Amino acid sequence: MRKINEVLRLRFELHCSHREIARGIGAASSTVADYLRRFAEARLSWPLSASLSEADLEAKLFPPAPSVPLRERAMPDWAAVHAEMRKPAVTLMLLWQEYRGRHPQGFAYSWFCEHYRAWVGRLDLVMRQEHRAGEKLFVDYAGQSVPITDRHTGELRPAAIFVAVLGASNYTYAEATWSQELAEWIGSHVRCFEFLGGVPEIAVPDNLKSAVTHAHRYEPELNATYAELARHYGVAVIPARAARPRDKAKAEAGVQLVERWILARLRNCQFFSLAQLNAAIAQLLVELNTRAFKKLPGSRASAFQAIDRPALKALPNVPFEYAEWKKVRVHLDYHIEFAHHYYSVPHALVGKELHARVSATTVELFHRGVRVASHIRSRSTGSFTTCPEHMPASHREYAKWTPERMRQWAATIGPATACVISAILAARRHPQQGFRSCLGVLRLGKHYGNDRLEAVCQRAHRLHITTFKSIESMLKNNLDRVPLLDEVATQQLPLSHENIRGPEYYH
């Protein structure tokens, strides 16, 4: 039984505060305030009439709710409620308040929540998950591939199928790519965002290597290029946990739909190019997105326009440019190597590990997150791209590695070695660019011996060879022990001999 009489006595006879009354009866201050509010609304006065029992008082302060027949209460539109729940910041309490505003005799909040959850439980498994508008994009590759025929050879080359599904509307995107490699993975994301006309808050990929370098339950390590794409578009990447398919149930269902409604219908078609296959996929994709839902009103396309599209973030002004990231080390000649081309960095970074960001047009080099050099990308193999400002003023810090030092070291091995080293240094625009090759040649003497190195350099000098790889190959193949052809001819063809008849014999 509620302690209503005690609350009224403490308030009106002893003039205690709400907090003091609450401590006295062992209840909350809000409970005391509620009793006093109901007492005022019942228009009773203190002291109470002697004929008014405590049960009668409680009945006056807490009258039963009016009984309304079930048929007179409006039934909520659960499909509309479910669609509204996907919108940002919408709660069941807000929807119930709006429902009661339209239908004052409607159901109570607890009944509303209980019956909504029961209705949601009757939907398909994939629809039981709650997804906010514009929040998540699930991405994955289909298990099936589509063969593309080479027109000239008849060879079949499989194409991978990229699939992306928005969480709230189930709006689906699909395309074919030659592989699941990083460049294709990044390109598919860029084209998917353009297809959607906006960017979601979160991308949920699987743990393939193009997305996650090192999978981990709590702190997965993203691929550097994929992380850069996420920063460019303002997307948070949250990979699904390994062996947890429910984390990406939308992607699994989307892949299944694409396989059933697109790939299965293309199983008897023959394609001769990737563009031809993507054109066919795009046509069937429109049909998939405009198909009506079975248990919800509308289609994927209509749900996308009503729910997800308004919530997507705007695309950046410039699409993401694909670039590879690679760890490189600065060599003695203050250059780094990428794709057999050498790019300079400030000479103070010799021996340091840098991060190279290489796009189709540029090579950028970073040290501890700070860009230290930028070059136009060159496709020339074995050559150098050097900025004069990266070179030391007079190589004071590396005085022991001067061209003269290289020549002196070579002279201790032999004159032919000195000639080859001089030729290597002279063949470069800057002598320092030849240090790497010179060191390689001179260090061959430690493995093969200086005598063999000198013999090979004699051969290389006569054949005008100035590359380390060629000299090393000659040593590996023991060519220093094989005479040249002109030497063989000199040894095997003497100028005169008694058994040689000569041209006069035939006259």
**pTM for the full predicted model:** 0.51
Q: Is the pLDDT of residue 249 over 80?
A: no
Verify that 56 and 151 share a domain, yes or no: no
The dihedrals phi and psi of 426, each to the nearest 5 degrees, come to: -75, -20
Confidence of residue 502 (pLDDT cuts 50, 70, 90): low
Verify that 272 and 174 share a domain, yes or no: yes
Verify that 143 and 247 share a domain, yes or no: yes
Q: How many domains does the chain have?
A: 5
Res 282: pLDDT: 92
Q: Is pLDDT larger for residue 59 or for residue 467?
A: 467
The string of pLDDT tens digits covering residues 394-434 is: 554 454 567 888 888 889 999 999 999 999 888 877 777 78
Verify that 466 and 407 share a domain, yes or no: yes
DSSP for 378-392 reads: ---TT-EE--GGGS-
DSSP for residue 479:
G
Mean pLDDT estimate for the chain = 82
Verify that 265 and 365 share a domain, yes or no: no
Confidence of residue 499 (pLDDT cuts 50, 70, 90): low
Verify that 276 and 386 share a domain, yes or no: no
Verify that 238 and 156 share a domain, yes or no: yes
Domain assignment present for residue 282? The answer is yes
Domain that holds residue 435: 402-490
Helix axes 182-196, 224-233, angle to 10 degrees: 20
Verify that 106 and 244 share a domain, yes or no: no
Res 496: pLDDT: 60
Q: What is the CA radius of gyration of the chain?
A: 41
Domain assignment present for residue 275? The answer is yes
Q: Which two tokens stand for residue 130?
A: 């709650």
CA distance 26 to 243: 52
Verify that 116 and 142 share a domain, yes or no: no
Verify that 280 and 163 share a domain, yes or no: yes
Q: Is the pLDDT of residue 443 over 60?
A: yes
Q: Is the pLDDT of residue 20 over 80?
A: yes
Q: Quick check: 126 and 245 in contact, CB under 8 A? A: no
Least confident residue range of 89-98, 119-128, 470-479: 119-128
Res 126: pLDDT: 43
Domain assignment present for residue 361? The answer is yes
Domain assignment present for residue 500? The answer is no
**Arithmetic mean of pLDDT, 124-134:** 59
Residue 414, Ramachandran bin (φ over 0: left; ψ between -120 and 50: alpha; else beta): left
Domain assignment present for residue 230? The answer is yes
Domain assignment present for residue 149? The answer is yes
Is residue 310 reached through a cis peptide bond, with omega within 30 degrees of 0 on the bond before it? no
Grouping H, G, I as helix, E, B as strand and the rest as coil, residue 19 is helix
Q: Is the pLDDT of residue 447 over 90?
A: no
The string of pLDDT tens digits covering residues 323-359 is: 888 899 999 889 999 988 999 999 889 999 999 998 8
Verify that 164 and 217 share a domain, yes or no: yes
Element (H, E) at 411: helix 403-413
Q: What is the CATH number of the domain that holds 169?
A: 3.30.420.10
DSSP for 101-139 reads: HH-TTS--HHHHHHHHHHHHHTS-GGGGS---TTTEEEE
Least confident residue range of 59-68, 80-89, 277-286: 59-68
- Beta-sheet strands, E only, within 87-182: 136-141, 146-149, 156-166, 172-177
Confidence of residue 127 (pLDDT cuts 50, 70, 90): very low
- Among candidates 205, 248, 199, which has minimal Cα distance to 226? 205
The dihedrals phi and psi of 280, each to the nearest 5 degrees, come to: -65, -40
What end-to-end distance do the CA atoms of the chain give, in Å?
148
Name the maximum alpha-carbon separation found in the chain.
Answer: 165
Domain assignment present for residue 336? The answer is yes
The string of pLDDT tens digits covering residues 306-316 is: 888 888 999 99
Res 218: pLDDT: 55
CA distance 453 to 478: 11
The string of pLDDT tens digits covering residues 202-232 is: 888 877 777 776 666 656 777 888 888 889 9
Domain boundary among 311, 337, 355: 311
Q: Is the pLDDT of residue 498 over 70?
A: no
Q: Is the pLDDT of residue 125 over 60?
A: no
CA distances from 252 to 182, 210, 257 (A): 21, 18, 9
Confidence of residue 243 (pLDDT cuts 50, 70, 90): low
Domain boundary among 363, 390, 417: 390
CA distance 154 to 211: 33
For the purposes of burial, counting CB atoms within 10 Å of the CB of 315, is it exposed (0-12), middle (13-18) or buried (19 or more)? middle
Domain boundary among 286, 311, 336: 311
The string of pLDDT tens digits covering residues 37-57 is: 888 888 888 888 877 877 788
Confidence of residue 247 (pLDDT cuts 50, 70, 90): low
DSSP for residue 400:
G
Domain assignment present for residue 354? The answer is yes
Res 176: pLDDT: 93
Verify that 437 and 339 share a domain, yes or no: no
The string of pLDDT tens digits covering residues 178-196 is: 998 888 998 999 999 999 9
